[in-house]
Structure 1
Amino acid sequence: MIKTVSKVLAVGALCLGVAACSTIDGLQPTDSGVTVEVRNKTYNEVWKSSVSAMSSGLAIVEINKSAGVIKSEAPAGMATWGEVIGLFVTPVSQSADSYSIRIVSKKRSTYQITGQDWAPSIAARIQADLDSE
């Protein structure tokens, strides 16, 4: 009886732990984050700046220029389990008047106390690179 209860509790704890994790696949442009508006630039300029910002101190794990999506991860450290970061460019068009860049940053675990919100620094890099507001 005690073994059965222990197994059930162990499985329950594992399920809670997995459910509380943020993954690359879970990042969505509708998540809370930072938005950068860019005008008078081409899609290629916006994309090049976005790739540069998302690879500075981060590892790109998914990149799709035709969909306007870049996803990166920050490594785990002494006091953090790491973070996952998504960047979403809209519209995905070579001839748009303006582009919206949505940057979403999440800690790997909802129980993680430490960690960095990467969205503001990535947005600042893109703004500085493109001289946008």
Structure 2
Amino acid sequence: MPPATGNTQFTVTARSYDEVWTAAIRSVTRSLTIIDESKIAGRIRAKSNAGLMSGDDVVGVFISPAGRNASSYTIEVQNLMRSRGLISGPGPDWTRNIVASIKAELANMAPSGPVSVKDSLSPSEEILTMPAPDGPRPTGPIKSGELSAQVEQLARQSGCVPIGRAKLIAKTPGVETYQTSCQNSQQALFKCEMRQCRRLD
């Protein structure tokens, strides 16, 4: 791995993972040649086409969390240098250029809607109760889960004041999906994997 000569990171919200990945790929391939990529790992590495008497700029783009939808993503762009001889002078600021390009790509995309219940569930998850639509909290007993209290706390931290218990709507070994009703009449979805919960919408 070449030594890092600079890095920049920023946060993206209200976008799906596919949108963030597409924006990163488009931005990198516009000026550089990809030498390694993994969508699952959220990693892109690319290099410039430098001459024999200059250095090769190697740029790394890293997206976290990788491979899944989340409420926000951290994108880090690293400018690496792999020497091939004498450096003829300062080259392009790839870090700044790639960051600006990713932001522009995302800004030009149509707004992304909230994560749907269908998209939040994996094929192996067993649906326990039908998710409630946005609106007043339905009457009747709520099926809470082992992690309902953790989900309710996370909901408050994300701006949703829960009405009643968080409802367990689907589960599979090691993974549970919850829904909470908020005071603003909206619904919030949460995915818990190995007891680690995150908001999806």
- Could you state the TM-score of these two structures normalised by the residue count of structure 1? 0.69
Residue of structure 2 equivalent to 1:62: 36
Relative to 1, partners in 2 of residues 1:100 and 1:82: Cα closer, same or farther, differing over 3 Å? Answer: same
**1:1-133 equivalences in 2 (<5 Å):** 25-26=1-2, 32-77=6-51, 80-109=54-83, 112=87, 113-131=89-107
Q: Which has more strand, going by share of residues?
A: 2
Unaligned runs of 5+ in 1: 1-24
Per the TM alignment, residue 93 of structure 1 is displaced from its structure 2 partner at its CA by: 4.3
Query: Which entry has the higher C-alpha Rg, 1 or 2?
Result: 2
RMSD over equivalenced CA pairs, Å: 2.4
Amino acid at match of 1:121: N
Amino acid at match of 1:66: I
Give per-residue Cα distances to partners, 1:46-73, cap 9 Å, x unaligned: 0000011111111000000000000000
Between 1 and 2, higher relative CO (CA 8 Å, sep ≥ 6) is seen in 1
Amino acid at match of 1:115: G
Per the TM alignment, residue 103 of structure 1 is displaced from its structure 2 partner at its CA by: 0.2
SS in 2 for 1:63: strand
Unaligned runs of 5+ in 2: 109-201
Q: Which has more helix, going by share of residues?
A: 1
- Could you state the TM-score of these two structures normalised by the residue count of structure 2? 0.47
Inter-partner Cα distance in structure 1 for 2:66 and 2:36? 17
